[in-house]
Amino acid sequence: MRSSRIWITGVGLVTALGPDVATTWPRLVSGVRGLAPLTLFDTAGQRASMVASVAPAYFEDASREGLTGDGAARAWSRTSAFAWKAVAEAMTHAGLPVAPVERSGDRRRLGLVVAGTTGGMFETEALLGDLHANPTSTASLVKMMSQPLTATGDRLVSRFGPFCRVRSLCSACSSGANAFVVGALWLLSGEVDAVVVGGTDGLCRLTVSGFNALTATDPDMCRPFDARRKGINLGEGAGFAVLERASSAVARGASVVAELSGWAIGAEAHHITQPDPSANVAARLIARSLRRGGLSPRDVDYVNAHGTGTAANDSMEAAALATALGQEIERIPVSSSKGQVGHMLGAAGAVEAIFSALAVKHQLVPPTMGLEEPDPACKLVHVLRAGRPARVRAVLSNSFGFGGMDTVLALTEPELGPPPARAEHERRVVVTGVAALSSRGLADAEDAATWVDGSLSHAGAPAPGPLAFDLISQLDPARVRRLDRPARLGAVVASRALAAAETGTGPIDRAEAGIVLGTAFGNLEASAAFMHRLFDKGPRLVSPAEFPNLVPSSPVGHVSIYLGLQGAAFATADLATSGECAVLQGMELVAGGEVDVVVAGAIEEASALVEKVLACLHGGASSGVPMPRSRARSEGASALVLEDEEHARLRGATPLARIERGYTWTDATEVALEAPRDPGRARVVVGRDERAAKKLIGTPWDAVRRTSLAPFAGDHEGLGGTALVAATSMVHRGLADEVLVVGTSNGRGYALLLVMYGLR
Amino acid sequence: MDLSLLKQDIKQLIIKELNLEGRDPASIPDDAQLFGALTGVADSPTVSLGLDSLDALQLAMSIEEKFGVRVPDGSEARSIFASVASLASFVAERTPAG
């Protein structure tokens, strides 16, 4: 890890207050409220419809550009259109070229991290509505595939690329803040020289109906921290920022908005929708974010609170701030922007991080609008009616999401804290436990190799569709009633992998262990069922219990609660390479010092809807999404316990394998794969798509014996995680010295090199 | 409306909607406390099912769907949701006889 300061050198915003930073920021500070009854779709029967919408005029240039509208060939969702605008503003502000003609120079060191929760759900809902009315329509099915979770990232690549690394992530309402952390880790590891990070989310029927069903909404304008507060107003928009190392910003003459000095990600492991009233985890993360930045509560001059306006969040947050900041809380102004821009869900953390950076830059603290009678349970220094000038050295930005996924960022004046310290030791990532579920059953490090070693050559094709495996038999029946099928699949493999990692050794401290799970489509099947209920029965009869399960990060939340995992927790998405992507993300968290231990893997549920969509796509040539359709889609899950080698040594664990390298690339970049030391003792495992092996042509790996997992273990988008479990098993059992797992999908690729422990 | 049949229906609804898989309706006493910490043994009068506010919302929605009776939000709901018996009385009072 390099020791380096990280600067924000460009920001872009699209909110209900305006189409850009120049409009939004002064209106935020002066107390303008962007709230009005929703007009984007019919809200008849909805309990509440007060929202902060982005006016069509704010992104009309997206339709002029041909991005949105019925005429657009592959129309951008509103969510993606917001992102387009905010990214263009942030890159322009940072002085990075945005027009294609200017991009002939070296753009190979620029990364992109996109956070969100609903993606193109608004557009998908219309398609589900068509499908509801006409179940045999295939036109809607084909279009539905144009809005997976990764769609925003892919479209941004098409306009602003090339990027050398692209990641899509979700942790519900903390997603946007996590994009900043992921980007910061890329800068610190030297993988990129600059990275565009942010979040984007559009209003849709699903979130409006869902939060109403949870009675978490205020029918009137919301009142964060007020004694009379009733809940949230949803909002929409996007916030993106350019992050870079201070040294490179100075070298190219870029000016700094603020320094990203500290951060912390964690999970409450408490409840899928309710915050933990003890506020223990939130307080711990606030303290840790300051520690990471070498800061103390005395340096903090403002807190941009999560401040949703729900009874439970605001009192928990006030308690967390009091615990973490001690007496200083009596001095530090705290405000929530949600009474002005609404709760922007996946965008909220990014937008509010940008507000925090602007507070530092302009030495102004924005207000909490809607707050008139402060709740005694939220004893804070409030900023009422309008913002005000203040000395602002350091700002904390809190983001708390469904499933208890919390992130805290610390934004400061440049060079406020001490120079970041180097890691105490070179962090090397080892695998200490694995488990995978496929139609062949549940496997661990002892037997997963049999899925790729030829043992199954005559076993017949794997069964497609749902696994026959009895998931409950592996779980505590008393604690799984809230877990839907994807969460149960995840809980089985994660608990098995953790148990393996703890066998015969000291236990892993669950409070410090994180979890990252990959998904290709999120919970499309359950989202469709939720929407069909809305269409059939109206907003009052949608399922409140089902709603939290529709966020793409829901299985992560459920599994973290089930297993008590309180380290960094979020979901990543990358279509057919969702497994490889999640494990690489887990590796980055361990190598970057965010966690000592992380459970990483992927889950794909059998889904009749996904099957139908993919079958349509296979018939049509226009999709551009590489999906091999020679096999029926199966179901499966995988989990690897990734651990800092030193951490594993100290608790007496013997690693199963070491991850020597993790590579990712895009169509625009080249990677030089490390050569196998002994090709005869090496293997290549491809998860699902043989085309991934093209990347090996011209390298020594092309001559290495190669196995494809899908024909033996069943085919699904998360299969790369299962391939990594099988690869771990191979080197653990001495069947190979090193195994390269390679996967490609939609212009991106991954290769992870596992080596026998102790070999290098 | 037959109150004992109604209680039986409500118990089945609780088991189905709140995923209390494998639980027998007969194991839920009429006066079992529905919400709060999970306590006691199945045949104790102080048993609680350990349900929470998210369950209350799901149950309110499914009561409305099945019986056409709207359960109010907030503090009023607390006494209605105290037990199967109180919930059944609330529903019975608001549904046509027979």
**Which residues from chain B sit within 8 angstroms of residue A211, using beta carbons?**
none
Locate the chain A residue with the closest alpha carbon to B68: A541
Task: Extract the tokens encoding A274.
Answer: 């309710």
pLDDT tens digits, one per residue of A593-635? 999 999 999 999 998 888 887 777 665 434 444 444 456 789 9
pLDDT tens digits, one per residue of A356-397? 999 999 999 999 999 999 999 999 999 999 999 999 999 999
Q: In CATH, what number is assigned to the domain containing residue B17?
A: 1.10.1200.10
Q: Which of B52, B57, B64 lies at the smallest CB-CB distance from A214? A: B57
Task: Measure the CA–CA gap between A244 and A262, rounded to whole angstroms.
Answer: 14
**CB within 8 Å: A541 and B61:** yes
Residue A131 is predicted with a pLDDT of: 85
Q: Report chain A's C-alpha Rg in angstroms.
A: 24
pLDDT tens digits, one per residue of A665-683? 998 788 899 999 999 999 9
Among A14-28, A442-456, A532-546, B64-78, the minimum mean pLDDT is found in B64-78
| Cβ contact A575:B85 at 8 Å | no
* A41 pLDDT above the threshold of 80: yes
In chain A, DSSP finds a helix count (H) and a strand count (E) of 21, 27
* A695 pLDDT above the threshold of 80: yes
Rounded percentage of chain A residues whose pLDDT exceeds 90: 80
**CB within 8 Å: A540 and B21:** no
Among A9-13, A580-584, B67-71, the minimum mean pLDDT is found in B67-71
Give B55 to chain A, closest Cα distance, Å.
7
Residue A524 is predicted with a pLDDT of: 86
Q: How many domains does chain B have?
A: 1
Q: Do the bridges between strand A381-382 and strand A441-443 make them parallel or antiparallel, or are there none, so unpaired?
A: unpaired
Q: Kindly list the distances between the CA atom of residue A300 and the CA atoms of A7, A267, A391, A395, in Å, as whole numbers in the listed order.
A: 18, 23, 10, 6
Q: Is A703 on the interface with B (CB under 8 A)?
A: no
3-state SS track over A461-480: CCCCECCCCCHHHHCCHHHC
**Which residues from chain A sit within 8 angstroms of residue B54, using beta carbons?**
214, 271-274, 544-545, 548
Question: With bands split at pLDDT 50, 70 and 90, how would you rate the model's confidence at A424?
Answer: low
Residue B47 is predicted with a pLDDT of: 60
* A345 pLDDT above the threshold of 90: yes
Question: Locate tokens 């900043």: which residue?
Answer: A180
Give A481 to chain B, closest Cα distance, Å.
5
Q: Which of A214, A481, A548 lies at the smallest CB-CB distance from B18? A: A481
Q: What is the DSSP string of B31-82?
A: T-EEESS-BS-TTSTT-EEEE-HHHHHHHHHHHHHHH--PPPPTHHHHHHTT
**Which residues from chain B sit within 8 angstroms of residue A481, using beta carbons?**
18-21
* A307 pLDDT above the threshold of 80: yes
Q: Is A477 on the interface with B (CB under 8 A)?
A: yes
Task: Measure the CA–CA gap between B50 and B21, rounded to whole angstroms.
Answer: 14
Average pLDDT for residues B7-26, to the nearest whole number?
A: 92
A382 burial class (0-12, 13-18, 19+ CB within 10 angstroms)?
buried
A306 part of the active site: yes
pLDDT tens digits, one per residue of A218-274? 999 999 999 999 999 999 999 999 999 999 999 999 999 999 999 999 999 999 999
Average pLDDT for residues A568-592, to the nearest whole number?
A: 97
Which residues of B make CB contacts under 8 Å with A? Answer: 17-22, 52-55, 57-58, 61, 64-65, 73
Domain range for B10 is 3-94
* A482 pLDDT above the threshold of 50: yes
Question: Locate tokens 């946007």: which residue?
Answer: A176
The residues pairing with A401 across neighbouring beta strands, listed in sequence order, are: A405
Helix (H/G/I), strand (E/B), else coil: A50: strand
* A74 pLDDT above the threshold of 80: no
Task: Measure the CA–CA gap between B73 and A396, rounded to whole angstroms.
Answer: 35
A128 vs A542, higher pLDDT = A542
Q: What is the DSSP string of A80-127?
A: HHHHHHHHHHHHHHHT---SGGGGGS--TTEEEEEE-SSTTHHHHHHH
* A97 pLDDT above the threshold of 50: yes
A558 part of the active site: no
Rounded percentage of chain A residues whose pLDDT exceeds 70: 95
* A124 pLDDT above the threshold of 50: yes
pLDDT tens digits, one per residue of B28-64? 999 888 887 555 444 444 567 788 899 999 999 999 9
**CB within 8 Å: A545 and B57:** yes
Residue A436 is predicted with a pLDDT of: 98
Which residue among the candidates A93, A164, A170, A173 is catalytic per the annotation? A173
Task: Look at residues A729, A734, A681 and name the one whose alpha carbon lies nearest to residue A709.
Answer: A729
Among A138-147, A316-325, A692-701, the minimum mean pLDDT is found in A138-147
Q: Which of B18, B22, B55 lies at the smallest CB-CB distance from A477? A: B22
Q: Which of B19, B22, B61 lies at the smallest CB-CB distance from A544? A: B61
Average pLDDT for residues A290-312, to the nearest whole number?
A: 97
Average pLDDT for residues A395-415, to the nearest whole number?
A: 96
**CB within 8 Å: A540 and B61:** yes
| Phi, psi angle pair for A97, to nearest 5° | -65, 135
Residue A671 is predicted with a pLDDT of: 85
Which residue among the candidates A270, A343, A558, A716 is catalytic per the annotation? A343
A173 part of the active site: yes
Rounded percentage of chain B residues whose pLDDT exceeds 90: 51
Residue B40 is predicted with a pLDDT of: 46
Q: Which of B21, B52, B61 lies at the smallest CB-CB distance from A213? A: B61
pTM (2 d.p.): 0.96
Mutation target for A interface from B16, B19, B20: give the one with most A CBs within 10 A: B19
Handedness of CA A474, A530, A406, A719 (dihedral sign): positive
Residue A3 is predicted with a pLDDT of: 67
Task: Extract the tokens encoding A488.
Answer: 């149960």
Report the mean per-residue pLDDT for chain A: 93
Residue A105 is predicted with a pLDDT of: 55
Question: With bands split at pLDDT 50, 70 and 90, how would you rate the model's confidence at A760?
Answer: low
**CB within 8 Å: B18 and A545:** yes
Task: Look at residues A531, A208, A214 and name the one whose alpha carbon lies nearest to residue B60.
Answer: A214
CB contacts < 8 A, A to B, total 41
**Which residues from chain B sit within 8 angstroms of residue A543, using beta carbons?**
58, 61
* A108 pLDDT above the threshold of 70: no
The residues pairing with A365 across neighbouring beta strands, listed in sequence order, are: A388
Residue A279 is predicted with a pLDDT of: 96
Top-confidence range, A23-37, A155-169, A665-679, B32-46: A23-37
* A505 pLDDT above the threshold of 90: yes
